[in-house]
Structure formats: C-alpha cells, structure tokens
Amino acid sequence: MAIEVKVPLLPESVSDATVSVWHKKPGDTVSRDENIVDLETDKVMLEVPSPSDGIIKEILKQKGSTVHAQEVLAVIDPAPAGKQAPAASKHPATAATAKPAVTTHVSTPPPLSPSARRAAAANPSIAPSVAVPVSTPVSTPVSTSERPEERVPMTRMRARIAERLLEVAQTTAMLTTFNEINMAAVMDIRQRYREKFEKKYQVRLGFMSFFVRACTEALKRSPIVNASIDGDDIVYHSYYDIGVAVSTDRGLVVPVLRNTDKLTMAQIEANIVESAEKAKVGKLSLEEMQGGTFTITNGGVFGSLVSTPLLNSPQCAILGMHKIQERPVVEHGQIVIRPMMYVALSYDHRLIDGKESVTFLVTIKELLEDPTRLMLEI
C-alpha cells in the first residue's frame, strides 16, 4: 500500500507554506527519516522527512506550490530501501525510440550574435560559419536585447521582512541617537584572555558578549527601553531577552538569547554561535525567534561605519554596532589614535524620550570603555 508524505503541523500563527526544494524525484530511493523536501514559511524553513523506506512514486506538490497542514506532498511505494528504481527496458519493441549507432546531422549554422556580426563586418576574413554563439544560462530569459532582465518572485521570508519593515516605518515614531565608543579596553581584554577563555570554554571570546552584557545592565537602569507598547498600555518586562541579528542567504533573522542577566560571557558566546549556525542552515525554530525585548545588530561585520537600524517590532529600541576604525580623538588635551566604534540607538519616540535614549546609550559607552563596571555592576 502506498504511503503518503504529508505537510507537518505548522507553527502557531503560520497558516501555510511554500514548497521550496525537492531533494528527491520520482523513482528515487528514500530511507526512513531522510529529508526529502523543504517547506518555506514566512519565518522558518521546515524539513519534511520520509515516513518510511521506499521509492518516490509520485510528487503531487511541485516547487512553488502553496500548501497547508496535512496536505499530501508525495506518495511513496514502500519497497525495501535498497531496491532501485526499475531500469529502462531493452526490449526490441523500444528500438524505434533508440538512437541509431551512427547519425549524421546537416543543419544551417545558428544565427550570429550582434557582437559576432560586428566582428565579421570589421574583418571579412572571419568566416561566419565558424562563429560560436554565446550560450544563455537557463535561469536568464532569452532576449534579443543586449540588456537582458530576469524577474523572480520574492521568497516567503523576504516578502515577510519587507512587510514588517514597512509596517515599522508606518506605525512607529522612530528616531535615532548616536554616540561613539573607545574600544581599546575591550580589545585589550580580548587580547590578553582570548586563549585562556577559548581553552576553558571551547568558544571564542567575541565583541558581542560584551555588548549583550552592557545592554543588559543598561536595560536594568532604563526599564522603559526594555518595555513595549500594547494598544494604549505600556508593558514593562522584568526579564531581559536580547535578540542578536544574524544575516543569512535568505534574509536577516533574529534569534533571541533568553534571560541574559543570568548568562555568563561564555554562555552568551556559545548561544550566539549555536544560533548563528542554525540560522545559516535554516534550522531555527519559530520559538527561538519570538519574544525578545531588545535587539542588537552588527553592521560592522560588513564594513558599515554608521547606519540607522530599524526597530524589531513590537520592541521599542534596537542598538546598531558598526566597524571599529582607528581615528584621532582628544584625550586630556592631546590628540591620540584610538579604535573607535560608532553606535546607534533607534527607538520609538512614542514611548522613549530623547533624554532616556541618550542616557541609555551613554551607559553602554561607559560600561564598555571601563569593562570593570560590568563585573561590579556600577
């Protein structure tokens, strides 16, 4: 009896999915629990495993199809996993469709490309019959124009990101304040303790754990920045769940670090690495990206010197990190070179006033320029 491969139950708030990639085709052998198709939702990728050993008999939902929970995607013939798809018949009856042993084709040369025609006109010694046309990639539409275009639909995640960003721009009173941080003290700590830290905890000591710790302490001192708006109410959160934005081939995702006030530097770094790895292969669950109270995004890894990050609704604030660059600054009346980073805090002005946003950002600056304060919480 044939076995049906069905769409699994979708995460809460997700109504449908799109067939993204088939890893098997009809006639292919599959093993139980082997991933055979990826489904894309607005927020996560879902793998659909084979329910049994067998051979793919039929695919019912092709790539790009919109599907719902429990819809049948494919049918499997429950043959032994080692059984191969039947080979093509060699019966004489099929001889009419077989290729002759020796075949001679005579055809006219293909039309020359515009560039080939121009070359031939400029140099008559070039024989038109030996000009080779330029092949066109399968994904690029054939066009008589020398300026071809390609139109492809947005992925579900890209469309959802676009929708959310537009919603933020239209429904919040977003404003951004800037400051700069002398990163010399943090860089010195990393340089001195990097090897010991990695040897003990089996994880690299990065900049992000310093920023997560500094933001957590600053949120304690400025509860309004950790709050959100719900209708006409202000919701104050007594916990600190900080999202760390991760760039992937499919778009930006924001896994959330829970209860950052209770995490050590090593735990923060380990969680960031795990989340980033899962994000890049589409393994993050919806639960791992929900419920944050504040977000940090680092455009500096791509070379950005300064930017205005957009809010991650319904949160009311987001911190943007940027590239560390040596610049001349004045210290005690002297011009010196220091590794400086511009930081940006975007916030919803409906909830957070300018004084509170500036105070919050200055707190982060002070904590990172004198990291001892992070340990002493002063």
Structure tokens at 99: 């290729």
3-state DSSP of the chain: CCEEEECCCCCCCCCCEEEEEECCCCCCEECCCCEEEEEECCCCEEEEECCCCEEEEEECCCCCCEECCCCEEEEEECCCCCCCCCCCCCCHHHHHHCCCCCCCCCCCCCCCCHHHHHHHHHCCCCCHHHCCCCCCCCCCCCCCCCCCCCCCCCCHHHHHHHHHHHHHHHHCCEEEEEEEEECHHHHHHHHHHHHHHHHHHCCCCCCHHHHHHHHHHHHHHCHHHHCEEECCEEECCCCCCEEECEEECCEEECCEECCHHHCCHHHHHHHHHHHHHHHHCCCCCCHHHCCCCEEEEEHHHHCCCCCCCCCCCCECEEEEECCEEEEEEEECCEEEEEEEEEEEEEEECCCCCHHHHHHHHHHHHHHHHCCHHHHHCC
Average predicted confidence (pLDDT) for the chain: 83
- At 208, list the tokens: 């992000």
Which of 35, 44, 39 is closest to 12 using CA atoms?
Answer: 44
State the sign of the Cα–Cα–Cα–Cα dihedral 357, 360, 363, 369: negative
Q: Catalytic residue among 33, 188, 261, 353, which?
A: 353
Q: pLDDT grade, residue 79 (50/70/90)?
A: low
pLDDT, greater one: 51 or 137: 51
Rounded to an integer, the average pLDDT of 11-30 is 86
Say which of 53, 91, 349, 370 is annotated catalytic: 349
Could you tell me the pLDDT band of residue 104, with boundaries at 50, 70 and 90?
low
Overall average pLDDT of the 226-233 stretch = 94
91 is catalytic: no
Contact between 347 and 313 (Cβ < 8 Å) = no
Amino acid identity, position 25: K
pLDDT at 206: 93
Select, from the ranges 111-115, 161-165, 225-229, the one with the highest average predicted confidence (pLDDT). Answer: 225-229
pLDDT at 181 over 90: yes
Domains for the chain: give ranges and CATH numbers: 3-77 (2.40.50.100), 158-376 (3.30.559.10)
Is 353 among the residues known to form the active site?
Answer: yes
Mean pLDDT, range 332-338, rounded to an integer: 95
pLDDT surpassing 70 at residue 148: yes
Task: For residues 239-248, give the mean pLDDT.
Answer: 93
